Structure 1
């Protein structure tokens, strides 16, 4: 995952956790606007989420943040 996407994912996870608590879930779509204006980046996130880590559609933001921060 490229550094810019990694930073964006961590920031979004942190914001969701701060707003809704540590049990909040999210999908990789949370990292993007409602329109597909960055298809390559969206596919990169989808590949990381689905193929690399085999995550469910919704996962705890804390889990996702930890994976991203660890560089996994």
Structure 2
């Protein structure tokens, strides 16, 4: 995972947890704008989410943050 993306995922998870509480769920799409301007990065994150980690479509932000922090 690219370091910039890892940092972005952690920032977004932390923001969502602050806004909506520790039970908030996210999809990997939460880390991208509606307009996909970097398909390679989107596929990199999708592969990590789906193939590598075998996560469901929505997962708890705290779980995602912990998993990405361990990379």
How big is the alpha-carbon RMSD for the aligned residues of Structure 1 and Structure 2? 0.4
TM-score when normalising by structure 1: 0.97
Q: Which stretches in structure 1 are left out of the alignment for 5+ residues? A: none
Corresponding position of 2:37: 37
Alpha-carbon displacement from aligned partner over 1:18-70 (angstroms, at most 9, x marks no partner) = 00000000000000000111101100000000000000000000000000001
Distance in 2 separating the partners of 1:40 and 1:66: 24
- Stretches of 4+ moved more than 2 A in 1? none
TM-score by length of 2: 0.98
Task: Give the count of matched residue pairs.
Answer: 71
CA distance in 2, matches of 1:4, 1:44: 13
Tell me the residue number matched to 2:59: 59
1:13, distance to aligned residue in structure 2 (A)? 0.2
